[in-house]
Structure 1
Amino acid sequence: MKILVTGAAGFIGKNLVAELTARGHEVFSSTRDTSEGEFQQFCQHAEFVYHLAGVNRSEIETDFVEGNTGSTERLLETLASCENNAPIMFASSIQATRDNPYGRSKRAAENVLRHAHEKTGRTIYLFRFPNLFGKWGRPNYNSVVATFCYRVARDLPLEIHDPARTVQLAYIDDVLDTLVGLLDARGRKPAVYEEEVAIHPPIELGRIAGLLQTFKDSRRSLAVPQLDDAFTKQLYSTYLSYLPVDRFAYDLKLNEDARGSFTEFIRTPDRGQVSINVAKPGITKGNHWHHTKNEKFLVVSGEALIRFRQVGENEVHTYHVTGEMMRVLDIPTGYTHNIENIGTTDLVTVIWVNEAYDPNNPDTYFMEVQDETTQSDDHRRDASRNHTPVGRYS
Structure 2
Amino acid sequence: MKILVTGAKGFIGKNLVSELRNRGYTDIFEFSKETNLSSLDQYCKEANFVFHLAGINRPKDQSEYMDGNYGFTSLLLEILEKHQNNCPVMISSSIQAELNNPYGFSKKAGEDILFEYSKKTGAKALVYRFPNVFGKWCKPNYNSAIATFCHNIAHGLPISINDPSVVMNLVYIDDVVEELINALNSNETSNGEFCEVSVVHSITLGQIAELIYSFKESRINRSIPNLSNHFTKKLYSTYLSYLPENQFSYELKMNIDQRGSFTEFIKTPDRGQVSVNISKPGITKGNHWHHTKNEKFLVVSGQGVIRFRKIDSDEIIEYLVSGEKLEVVDIPIGYTHNIENLGDTDMVTIMWANEYFDPEKPDTYFLEV
Q: What TM-score, normalized by structure 1, do the two folds share?
A: 0.91
- Residue 211 (structure 2) aligns with: 211
Deviation at 1:220, TM superposition (A): 1.1
Matches within 5 A, 1:264-343: 264-343=264-343
Instruction: Please give the residue correspondences for 1:102-121 in structure 2 after superposition, counting only pairs within 5 Å.
Output: 102-121=103-122
Q: Deviations over 1:244-287 (max 9, x none)?
A: 11110000001001100000000000100000000000000000
Alignment correspondent of 1:139:
140
* Distance (whole Å) between structure 2 residues aligned to residue 306 and residue 45 of structure 1: 67
Q: Partner letter of residue 152 of structure 1?
A: I
Unaligned runs of 5+ in 2: none
Equivalent pairs, count: 366
For each residue in 1:333-390, what CA deviation from the matched residue of structure 2 results, as whole angstroms up to 9, or x when unmatched?
A: 0100000000010000000000000001111010111xxxxxxxxxxxxxxxxxxxxx
Provide the alpha-carbon RMSD of the alignment: 1.4
State whether residues 180 and 188 of structure 2, in contact with CA within 8 Å, keep that contact through their aligned partners in structure 1: no
Which SS does the other structure have where 2:71 is aligned? helix
Match of 2:368 in 1: 368
Three-state SS of the structure 1 residue aligned to 2:75 is helix
In 2, Cα distance between equivalents of 1:199 and 1:255: 44
C-alpha distance in 1 between matches for 2:245 and 2:275? 26
Match of 1:61 in 2: 62
Distance 1:253 1:24 in 2: 45
Alignment of 1:153-172 (within 5 A): 153-172=154-173
Question: 2:97 is aligned with what amino acid?
Answer: A
Regions of 4+ moved over 6 Å = none
1:315, 1:40 → 2: CA distance?
Answer: 83
Q: CA deviation at 1:40?
A: 1.6
1:1-394, aligned counterparts within 5 Å? Answer: 1-25=1-25, 26-185=27-186, 193-369=193-369
The structure with more radius of gyration: 1
Distance in structure 2 (CA, Å) of the matches to 1:217 and 1:154: 13
Superposition deviation, residue 161 in structure 1: 1.5
Q: Distance in 2 between matches of 1:22 and 1:201?
A: 26
The answer on whether the counterparts of 1:124 and 1:193 sit within 8 Å (CA) in structure 2 is no
Between the aligned partners of 1:218 and 1:330, the Cα distance in structure 2 is 28
Q: Unaligned regions of 5+ residues in structure 1, if any? A: 370-394
Alpha-carbon distance between aligned partners in 1 of 2:199 and 2:144, rounded to the nearest angstrom: 15
TM-score for both structures, normalised by structure 2: 0.97
CA distance in 2 between counterparts of 1:130 and 1:52 reads 14
Aligned equivalents of 2:262, 2:187: Cα separation in 1: 58
**Deviation at residue 52 of structure 1 after TM alignment:** 0.4
